[in-house]
Chains A and B, each alone.
Chain A
Amino acid sequence: MSLLKLDGIHHSYFTQTTATTALSDISLDIEEGEFVSFLGPSGCGKTTLLSIIAGLIKPTEGTVMLEGQSVQESVNKIGYMLQQDYLFPWKSIEENILLGLKIGGTLKSSKIEYAKSLLEQMGLKGFETQYPKQLSGGMRQRVALVRTLATEPKLLMLDEPFSALDYQTKLKLEDLVSDTLKSYGKTAILVTHDIGEAIAMSDRIFLFSARPGKLHRTFLVPDELRKLTPFNARNHETYSVLFQKVWKELESLESREEH
């Protein structure tokens, strides 16, 4: 059985003058331990889809099942990391990483230890008493990742988590995130508009078309790339072949939209 199952998701937004269909007929399965990417142009409803999977929005039609259970009912099984870190500036780093546990009422010493060991793994030991303002962008994003992982979610969703960082930090973080998730066997969905990032990090790529958001094609990332770290994958020859393929597909989507 797959971990996450999306079945016939439709979603529309309403305002007084307009009714916009953001997502249309999306069905997909994600297996346990898999790392997938949602790739697509802006306006393809990727963030809406994540909010639906997280159970924050109820779709107009369709169902989302996590381990055979509706996501509306399953609390704290999904970790959601936003585009920016959104660390709470008035909380210290330690208070920030323990936030999810505090909210869920599971602030036990074993869980606190786990969160702190994650922080150490991210190379941020000794920063517990500092405040987010004192940390750099890359460090803050790592703290946000620890905050998301601390509740030990079944499924991790990353909404363009590296887009606000400079290129070098981004490459380093990609390796770190990929490494951490693999070692804990986490299932993850990465939303991005960066083709290279999608190829380097994931096992499968879902390509979405825009207006309304639709699942256009699925790409399987070849085994030899999956085994490599994202940084090394970028230098592999298969990488550029797949890159060209995805690039052409995206181009064809855009030209179809223009006509």
Chain B
Amino acid sequence: MSPEKNTKLLHQQYIESLKIEKRWVRFYQLVIFLVFFVGWEVASQKQWINPLIFSSPSKVWTLFLEKIQDGTLLTNLGFTLTETVFGFILGTLLGTILAAILWWSPILSKILDPYLVILNAMPKVALGPILIVALGPTFTSIVAMGAIISVIITTIVVYTSFKEVDPNYLKVLQTFGATRLQCFKEAILPASFPTIISTLKVNVGLSWVGVIVGEFLVSSKGLGYMIIYGFQVFNFTLVLLALLVIAVFATIMYQLVELLERKLIKDGS
């Protein structure tokens, strides 16, 4: 056999082995999924776990169909989803703008440094009651919860990445007579896109937390309301249903961020 043909064959074998590996990974992922839900169902029916607290997949499914039919699930999901998306975008945007201001004025960043540390260390959800009293039990206060929980950490992380951009890129721009705004637009911001994307990924999770806690407190609508209501009337099937819906939609948001990442970061790879 000629060496050329041999390489081709080996390459095909390599591709084949990659395919097989991928198939096994998918298989085990499916196994875990099935074992979890089947195990949950069986354990609940055989009373190994308390069905009142842990419910069962079949009960959750029945409730899901019921809530879809009476329209309450979709309305509540609509509220929560809108609040989360707004909170998420607002938190990331404000955080990035704050980071830009800090980068713009080094003296301001020195002055504000200890306050950022304090604000970051403070549990933001504790601000919830004050927000709701100040802004009223409305859409606005819940969005504010979703944003406030992520804004400070976004500021800190993005500002750090702004500062770590290789100063030689700025030197190149300065020799062309670039202003500070041009330096920011041409070098600082695009160089920090990877960091901004990874904070987006963290913020997806954080804004769900903020919004759900906000809905706990306001207790009038949304998936957070469904959870707190289910808890109060001891209907844990409702709680679990809300949780599963949240899991699905948080994953979808995460995937969308990854899509954005592929669009935004181009370096020919």
Contact = CB atoms under 8 A, between A and B. Distances in A.
Interface of A: 54, 56, 75-76, 78-80, 82, 84, 86, 88-90, 92, 99-100, 102-104, 130-134, 151
A90 B176 contact: no
Interface stretch (B24-32, B147-155, B182-190, B242-250): B182-190
B125 to A, nearest CB: 37
B172 A82 contact: yes
B234 interface: no
Contact of B266 (A75, A82, A86, A131): A131
Contact of B176 (A76, A86, A92): A76
A103 B171 contact: no
B168 interface: yes
B268 interface: yes
B190 A103 contact: no
A78 to B, nearest CB: 7
A79 B172 CA distance: 9
A56 B31 CA distance: 63
B91 to A, nearest CB: 25
Given A90-B267, A131-B267, A133-B268, A56 B174 contact: yes
A89 B174 contact: no
Given A56-B174, A88-B169, A131-B268, A103 B193 contact: no
Interface string B190-228: 110100000000000000000000000000000000000
A78 B266 CA distance: 30
Interface of B: 166, 168-169, 171-178, 182, 186-187, 190-191, 193, 265-269
A226 to B, nearest CB: 28
Contacts, number: 59
Contact of B191 (A90, A100, A132, A134): A90
A35 B265 CA distance: 40
Contact of A90 (B175, B177, B190): B190
A228 to B, nearest CB: 31
8 contacts: A86-B172, A88-B169, A88-B186, A104-B176, A131-B266, A132-B268, A133-B268, A133-B269
Contacts of A80: 171-172, 175
Nearest to B268: A131
Nearest to A96: B172
B164 to A, nearest CB: 15
B266 A88 contact: no
Contacts of A133: 267-269
B265 A86 contact: no
Contact of A99 (B174, B186, B266): B186
A92 B266 CA distance: 9
Given A75-B177, A99-B176, A82 B168 contact: yes
Contacts of A76: 176-177
Contacts of A104: 176-177
A212 B98 CA distance: 42
A103 B186 contact: yes
Nearest to B190: A90
A9 to B, nearest CB: 19
A79 B175 contact: yes
B268 A130 contact: yes
Contacts of B269: 131, 133
B191 A78 contact: no
B210 to A, nearest CB: 32
B177 A56 contact: no
B169 to A, nearest CB: 6
A133 B176 CA distance: 23
A80 B174 CA distance: 10
A128 to B, nearest CB: 12
A100 B177 CA distance: 8
A103 B267 contact: no
A211 B175 CA distance: 27
